[in-house]
Structure 1
Amino acid sequence: MERKRERLGTPRAAGIAGVVFAVLMGLAIVLVRLALPGGAGGHEITVDAAQRSTVRTALELLPYAGIAFLWFMGALREQVGEAEDRFMATVFLGSGLLFVATLFGCAAAAVTVLDENQQDAPFGRHFAYTLLTTYSLRMAAVFILTTSTIGRRLGVLPRPLVVIGFAAGLILLVAGANLPWSELVFPAWALIVSLDILRARPPVTGRPAASP
């Protein structure tokens, strides 16, 4: 009975954590895109004080987005429970953890560039940009595909959401940085999944549990 009570809050926890992650991550991406419309990978980039302030604000949001994502990932895994497949669970956890690691690495590299004012030393800028667009987005794609596969096998995700997940994962995996604003695909998918989890959560009746 105690184990069952612990699991009652898991869907809500996953939904709330996913919404927080999606909002923070999406806001950070939008701020960076508005400050640097051409991206951060060009050789000739001049960033003024206002742009630097905007980018710094976006980077300060990323650690909290990563923390929320870890809660989101843990709550999703808890819903699977004993039905967890070891192979899919390994890919699920590995891709999620690597996404957070590369995201934090990208943020750290970008902060270093801003702090040191390396306008004429593009290595740090290219490193941060490549880490985000090449590696972080690919790990996000694997996470989406794995989650959608698990959701389809267990029947916990509606069919339209599974289709959306496969499409989003393939877009990030194949297109990646070549598609403008493609970074928003992952937080958008997380938001849709989270809202579906919150909407489908069984209502709480408020009646006390029957005594054994």
Structure 2
Amino acid sequence: MERQQERLGTPRAAGIAGVVFAVLMGVVIVLVRIALPGGADGHDITVDEAQRNTVETALGLLPYAGIAFLWFMGALREQAGAAEDRFVSTVFLGSGLIFVATLFGCAAAAVTVLDENQQNAPFGRHYAYTLLTTYSLRMAAVFILTTSTIGRRLGVMPRPLVFLGFATGLTLLVAGASLPWSELAFPGWALIVSLDILRGRRPSATPRPAA
């Protein structure tokens, strides 16, 4: 009985954690982009004190976004239960963990960029930009694709949301940094999924019969 109550509370936990992650991640991405307006190729970057303080505050919020994402990921995995596919679940878990790791690395590099700004040193800027737009973005794409695959197989995601996930994941995987502000697609997708969960997710997660 206690186990059933925990499982019934899981969708709401996933939804709330997903919304928190989406909002915090969106703010962090916007402010990091402001701190690196020229991307990896910007050489003449000046950051005033007010902007520096804003970015430092945003980077201070990033660990909480990472924690919310881990909670979101764990709650989604709990929804699958015994019906989960081990292969897809392993890719799901690995991509999520690597995403958080690279995200934290990007945050550390962004702090370095702020410290190096007066010397106009390019290394930290290139490092942060590459982590954010190449590695983190690709892992986010894999996470979206595996989540959508699990949602389709178990029937716990509406078909339009599954299609949206596949389209978003493939776009980020293939196009990546070539699309301006494409990093916002991930928190945007997470927000849509979380709101769908809070609106009312199906109570059971059972695999669909093979065709």
Give the TM-score, by structure 1 length: 0.90
Question: 2: CA distance between counterparts of 1:118 and 1:46?
Answer: 8
CA deviations over 1:28-54 (Å, ceiling 9, x no partner): 112233454433542332223233223
Segments of structure 2 that go 5 or more residues without pairing to the other structure are 204-211
Answer whether contact 2:45 2:117 (CA < 8 A) is retained: no
Of all paired residues, the percent bearing the same amino acid is: 86
Displacement of 1:110 in angstroms is 1.3
Q: Match of 2:94, as an amino acid?
A: G
Question: 2: CA distance between counterparts of 1:201 and 1:178?
Answer: 35
Displacement of 1:111 in angstroms is 1.3
Q: Match of 1:5, as an amino acid?
A: Q
User: Which shifted more, 53-62 or 110-119?
Assistant: 110-119
Displacement of 1:202 in angstroms is 7.2
Question: 2: CA distance between counterparts of 1:17 and 1:185?
Answer: 17
CA deviations over 1:121-146 (Å, ceiling 9, x no partner): 21111101101100000000000000
Question: 2: CA distance between counterparts of 1:37 and 1:106?
Answer: 15
Task: Say yes or no: does 1:61 pair with 2:61.
Answer: yes
Residues 113 and 6 from structure 1, CA distance in 2 versus in 1: closer, same or farther, beyond 3 angstroms? Answer: same
- Give the equivalent residue in structure 2 for 1:109: 109
Give the TM-score, by structure 2 length: 0.90
Q: Match of 2:80, as an amino acid?
A: V
Question: 1: CA distance between counterparts of 2:95 and 2:24?
Answer: 20
- Give the equivalent residue in structure 1 for 2:175: 175
Question: 2: CA distance between counterparts of 1:73 and 1:156?
Answer: 15
Segments of structure 1 that go 5 or more residues without pairing to the other structure are 204-212
Count of aligned pairs between the two proteins: 203
Question: 2: CA distance between counterparts of 1:96 and 1:41?
Answer: 28
1:119-198 paired onto structure 2 within 5 Å:
119-198=119-198
Other structure's SS at 1:73 match: helix
Question: 2: CA distance between counterparts of 1:183 and 1:136?
Answer: 9
Answer whether contact 1:32 1:55 (CA < 8 A) is retained: yes
- Give the equivalent residue in structure 2 for 1:8: 8
Residues 108 and 36 from structure 1, CA distance in 2 versus in 1: closer, same or farther, beyond 3 angstroms? Answer: closer
